[in-house]
Chain A
Amino acid sequence: MVGGLFIIITSQNYLKKVVGLAIFQTAVFVFFVSLAKVLDGTAPILTKMANAYSNPLPHVLILTAIVVGVATSALGLALVLQIYKNYETIEEKEIESLELKSDK
Chain B
Amino acid sequence: MFDIFLDDAPALVVVLPLLISAIIAFMPSKIWPWIVSIITLLLHLFLSLHLLKEISVSGLIIYEFGNWEPPWGISFKIDGVNIGLQLLFSIFVLVSTFYSRKIFLNEIDYRDSGKAYSLWLLAVGSLNGIILTNDIFNLFVFLEISALASISLIALGAGQNRNALLAAFNYLIIGAIGATFYVIGVGFAYAMTGTLNMNDLVIQLAQYSDGQLAIFAGMSFMLIGLMVKAAIFPVHIWLPPAYSYAPSAVSTLLAALATKTILYFFVRLLYEIFIIYPSYLSLFLDFVLYPLSLLAIFIGTVIAIYQDDIKKLLAFSSIAQIGYITLAFSLKDHSGVASGFVHIFNHALIKGGLFMAVGYFAILYKDRVTLNSLKGFGYKYPITSFALLICGLSLIGLPLTNGFISKLYLFQALYTNQMYFSIALVAVSSALAVVYFWKIVEQMWFSEVKFKSEKEDAYIYLPIWIVTISIIVFGIYSTPIIEFSNLSADYLISGYQN
- The residues of A with any CB-CB pair to B shorter than 8 Å are 5, 8, 14, 17-18, 21, 24-25, 28, 31-32, 35, 58, 61, 64-65, 68, 71-72, 75-76, 79-80, 82-83, 86-87, 95, 99
B424 part of interface (Cβ distance < 8 Å): no
CB contacts (< 8 Å) of A31 on chain B: these are 184, 187
Please state if A25 and B158 are interface contacts (CB–CB under 8 Å): no
CB contacts (< 8 Å) of B183 on chain A: these are 28, 32, 65
The 10 closest A-B CB pairs, nearest first, are: A86-B162, A68-B144, A79-B169, A83-B165, A35-B191, A72-B176, A32-B187, A82-B165, A76-B172, A28-B180
Please state if A58 and B190 are interface contacts (CB–CB under 8 Å): yes
Please state if B166 and A95 are interface contacts (CB–CB under 8 Å): yes
Please state if A87 and B176 are interface contacts (CB–CB under 8 Å): no
Bound: A65/B187 CA distance, A:
12
> Helix, strand, loop or mixed for chain B's interface?
helix
Which residue of B is nearest A17, CB measured? Answer: B173
With A14-B169, A76-B172, A82-B165: A28-B177 Cβ-Cβ less than 8 Å: no
B168 part of interface (Cβ distance < 8 Å): yes
Which residue of B is nearest A95, CB measured? Answer: B166
Q: Which of B129-187 contact A (CB under 8 A)?
A: 137, 140-141, 144, 148, 151-152, 155, 158, 162-163, 165-166, 168-169, 172-173, 176-177, 180, 183-184, 187
With A75-B148, A99-B163: A80-B169 Cβ-Cβ less than 8 Å: yes
Partner of B184, one of A28, A58, A75, A99: A28
CB contacts (< 8 Å) of A25 on chain B: these are 176, 180
CB contacts (< 8 Å) of B165 on chain A: these are 79, 82-83, 86
CB contacts (< 8 Å) of B172 on chain A: these are 72, 75-76, 79
CB contacts (< 8 Å) of A71 on chain B: these are 144, 148
> Helix, strand, loop or mixed for chain A's interface?
helix
CB contacts (< 8 Å) of B177 on chain A: these are 5, 8, 21, 24
21 CB contacts below 8 A, A to B, read A5-B177, A14-B169, A18-B173, A28-B180, A31-B184, A31-B187, A64-B137, A68-B144, A71-B148, A72-B144, A72-B172, A72-B176, A75-B148, A75-B151, A79-B151, A79-B169, A82-B155, A82-B158, A83-B166, A83-B169, A87-B162
Bound: A25/B166 CA distance, A:
22
Q: Supply 19 further A-B pairs (C-beta < 8 A) apart from A28-B183, A82-B158, A83-B165.
A: A5-B177, A8-B173, A18-B173, A21-B173, A24-B180, A25-B180, A31-B184, A32-B187, A61-B137, A64-B141, A65-B140, A68-B141, A68-B144, A75-B152, A79-B168, A79-B169, A83-B166, A83-B169, A86-B165
Interface centre among B151, B187, B191 (most CB of A within 10 A): B187
Bound: A14/B144 CA distance, A:
20
Q: Which of B169-221 contact A (CB under 8 A)?
A: 169, 172-173, 176-177, 180, 183-184, 187, 190-191
Bound: A14/B158 CA distance, A:
17
Please state if A35 and B155 are interface contacts (CB–CB under 8 Å): no
CB distance from A63 to the nearest CB of B (A): 11
Partner of A86, one of B152, B158, B187: B158
Bound: A31/B191 CA distance, A:
11
